[in-house]
Structure 1
Amino acid sequence: MTTSQLHIALLAFPFGSHAAPLLTLVQKLSPFLPSDTIFSFFNTSQSNTSIFSKSSKPDNLKIYNVWDGVKEGNATPFGREAIELFIQSTPTNFVKSMKEAEEETGVKFSCIFSDAFLWFSCELAETMNVPWIAFWTAGSCSLSIHLYTDLIRSNDETLSKIPGFLSSLRMSDMPPEVVAENLEGPMPSMLYKMALNLHKADGVVLNSFEELDPIINKDLKSKLQKILNIGPLVLQSSKKVQVDANSDESGCIEWLEKQNEKSVVYLSFGTVTTLSPNEIVAIAEALETKRVPFIWSLRDNGVKILPKGFLERTEEFGKIVSWAPQLEILEHSSVGVFVTHCGWNSILEGISYGVPMICRPFFGDQKLNSRMVESVWQIGLQIEGGSFTKSGTMNALDTFFNEQKGKVLRQNVEGLKEKALEAVKSDNGSSTKDFKVLVELIKCHKAT
């Protein structure tokens, strides 16, 4: 068993939008590491199938399926049940697959690089005498909230005392795991243990940029060994976003070319969230009444709920697709506002391309992200009452297309876009420098 090569164990959390960013990060890191570096990617079979069907696999990456906790012959669970079964199967499932990877490659692990949720990675790293690098796939704002779990739970008057947050922050904005009735459930327990152990990580990597939350980042640096903001990853590529005719099967970009600058509303709520029938109808009625140009990413089961005749009545100024090339749409000069569920990737993509947002959060860190968008960064607004109504949606659209406030929000997000570009494009950019630190952190350790 050799220790002469770098062999990096990548431990993914297989739900939501967690595993794919870890793969993206590997693709960014690979060219900067020795050519004989081995990456072993540990994830459930279902998640691996999903992400590797949409993304190319680096030649030096080996894929391993870890047990998802579902006993053979049992029906495939969904949602919370699937997550809880997976959590209960850890860390045994990872340990088993990691031993197989070392035996198969003949190379001991030199580093454990895990989703931050998988807090037990610190114990595995200690046993192997290798560094643990944790990847927090969301923003520094939500990471900070988790680190302050005990303070938040002790007194709801203390939210404004957390560095970098305003007094407008409310308990209802908190991730549900932080304010759960008790911290013994699988998800609350996992995230609480993460908060207690994250100081042991040799580095905590974030897909963000330091200038977005400077006060929060300063506070995080006082609590953790190394905070490395290396994003936005979407801007790390030196190539301009391009769409060829074959990849734009829905014709979104061709359609956008015919629209006026900053006139289009783009609506997308991710792959997990589902709008209620009432909200789908409310959005449709607002779009039709305002006659504002729109692209709406809406799956077939949602299309069935639309008001009768809506597609025909709006075909001159609207486009509904089951899947949309989001990055290319957000980059297009015709797009004026992004209506989103406030998942971190979507928030960061909106900022990266300078598109202000209308927020309708659902779960996890989305409510906190939404509050930051409206009250702290001031680059968008939350939908009135927390869910879509016809009048609330029309009022939100009016803000961006008919009011001075919309211009201010657009200017603010353009300012953050410039800071994001500077962070990743400049040799002295904060994210460029942190990325170099991450590369050295990985390179300088060999298993002993």
Structure 2
Amino acid sequence: MANSHVAVLAFPFGSHGQAILAVTHRLATASPSTVFSFFNTSQSNFSLFSSDRPANIRVHDVSDGVPEGYVLSRNPQEAVELFLEAAPKIFRRELAVAETEVSRKVTCMLTDAFIWFAADMAAEMKVSWVAFWTSGQNSLTAHLYTDLIRETIGVKEVDGRMEETLGFISGMEKIRVKDIPGGVVFGNLDSVFSTTLHQMGLALPRATAVYMNSFEELDPTLTVNLRSKFKRYLSIGPLALLFSPSQRETPLHDPHACLAWMEKRSIDSVAYIAFGRVMTPPPGELVAIAQGLESSKVPFVWSLQEKNMVHLPKGFLDRTREQGMVVPWAPQVELLNHEAMGVFVSHGGWNSVLESVSAGVPMICRPIFGDHALNARSVEAVWEIGMTIIKESFTKDGFEESLDRVLVQDDGKKMKVNSKKLKELAQDAVSTEGSSFKNFKGLLDEVVKV
């Protein structure tokens, strides 16, 4: 609409900024007369805005909430907590500046779901609030039902009930208490981050719409459950398929020639190992991965940050030069979609899981924190497209056994069949008659209407 002005409030940690920008980019392209004011910390914006963007996205740097002269500890949650505590004041101030700059009042607030206080801000401004949950249906359900989980399991009794399942929540029958994110019923329930997620679960039903990077057919029961909780619930993913390589405007970035190397490998044979940019298993486990790869003789591409390469066993890179490659960065989506790809070894972050699902590739998950264990449990027990690493951490023998199970055993063949089925459902969802395609149109209507 001619006078629409959408305020986009990003959460500047992990892959959150990247995800909300990808959607904003698509919305801005679909509605060129709408102004999108994108609010994010300067550090996060710097990493996001290296390429071209539509002219109607205006970028605003906001404070990260760290007081001047303050030295952050090594605890990664500290930066998150300082930002969340300062964010309501910061965003309110910057919104007023943006309205003056473009001479348009904000008509919609499009925010990361973690920015739950946007519910109050939108109500004060008499505008709609559209919230983006960047993870899956499973973890959103856990946060929405936090009070019920606490009442049913009992915070004080939780240690003895870790193996019990959440059968009292529709769609969570195969999820165990120990799989749900810390801060829901165990861990530090009073930390700023736990409180934020709890408040978010209580606030989201007030949103005009809640949307996420998933597709309805991945978890039909949870889809029905979430629809009952929100005014409007829209699954618009997988984003990896919506922004597919075939629509790419820029040339493919593959500095280490991973895809050329893949061309020489046989179908379904390669293991791809990557744990995202934020978390990596401890050094001892990196050694176990290297030893397991070497003794298994499985061809591999391992995306490992340079600072972590010092932990690899002496001589490993030389001895495995023919077998595989260790690179500081790899074109993940294209690698997963290559016919030689056989298994994705990952932390189980939502983007990684969905990219694997979109490519029809089975997984070996090694959860680290947050929603990882929940996603890994869904991979193993709900969708049956992979497994969680034996004993929850890497050992040489355990990793070798896991590779053998997925790549060679009958079990792995079933995972492959199930993966292919989910891939087809994902492709159907983003096709012009599919649920995600229609839901994206619904999102566009919610965001740009005046």
Do Structure 1 and Structure 2 share a fold, with TM-score over 0.5? yes
The answer for the alignment partner of 1:395 in structure 2 is: 401
The answer for the alignment partner of 2:224 in structure 1 is: 218
How big is the shift at 1:166? 2.5
**Matching residue's letter, 1:58:** P
Contact 2:273 2:345 (C-alpha < 8 Å) held by counterparts = yes
1:165 aligns with 2:176: no
Deviant stretches of 4+, over 3 Å: 75-78, 180-184, 241-246
Quick check: 396-405 or 336-345, which moved more?
396-405
How big is the shift at 1:56? 3.0
The answer for the alignment partner of 1:75 in structure 2 is: 71
The answer for the alignment partner of 1:5 in structure 2 is: 3
Deviation readout 1:402-446 (Å, 9 max, x if unpaired) = 211101000101000000000001x221111111111111232x2
Contact 2:108 2:448 (C-alpha < 8 Å) held by counterparts = no
Give matches, 1:91-240, under 5 Å.
91-156=88-153, 159-167=166-174, 169-180=175-186, 183-237=189-243, 240=246
Deviation readout 1:341-389 (Å, 9 max, x if unpaired) = 1110000000001111000010111110000000001000000010000
The answer for the alignment partner of 1:312 in structure 2 is: 318
How big is the shift at 1:243? 11
Relative to the length of structure 2, the TM-score reads: 0.94
How many angstroms apart in 2 are the aligned matches of 1:206 and 1:327? 19
Contact 2:111 2:131 (C-alpha < 8 Å) held by counterparts = yes
Give matches, 1:354-393, under 5 Å.
354-393=360-399
Relative to the length of structure 1, the TM-score reads: 0.95
Q: 1:135 to 1:244 in 2, by over 3 A?
A: closer
How many angstroms apart in 1 are the aligned matches of 2:192 and 2:54? 33
Q: 1:267 to 1:239 in 2, by over 3 A?
A: closer
How many angstroms apart in 2 are the aligned matches of 1:266 and 1:395? 16
**Matching residue's letter, 1:131:** S
How many angstroms apart in 2 are the aligned matches of 1:433 and 1:328? 26
1:61 aligns with 2:67: no
SS in 2 for 1:91: helix
Q: 1:158 to 1:89 in 2, by over 3 A?
A: same
Q: 1:302 to 1:441 in 2, by over 3 A?
A: same
Contact 2:9 2:111 (C-alpha < 8 Å) held by counterparts = yes
Consecutive unaligned residues of structure 2, counting only runs of 5 or more, are: 154-163
How many angstroms apart in 2 are the aligned matches of 1:174 and 1:347? 16
How big is the shift at 1:72? 2.2
The answer for the alignment partner of 2:430 in structure 1 is: 424
Deviation readout 1:227-280 (Å, 9 max, x if unpaired) = 100000111136527799872111101100111111100000000112211111
Deviation readout 1:78-99 (Å, 9 max, x if unpaired) = 6111011101102000001111
Match of 2:258 among 248, 252, 256: 252
Match of 1:51 among 36, 48, 53: 48
How many angstroms apart in 2 are the aligned matches of 1:243 and 1:387? 40
Taking only aligned residues, the RMSD between alpha carbons, in angstroms, comes to: 1.7
Identity of aligned residues (%): 47
Count the aligned residue pairs: 439
The answer for the alignment partner of 1:440 in structure 2 is: 445
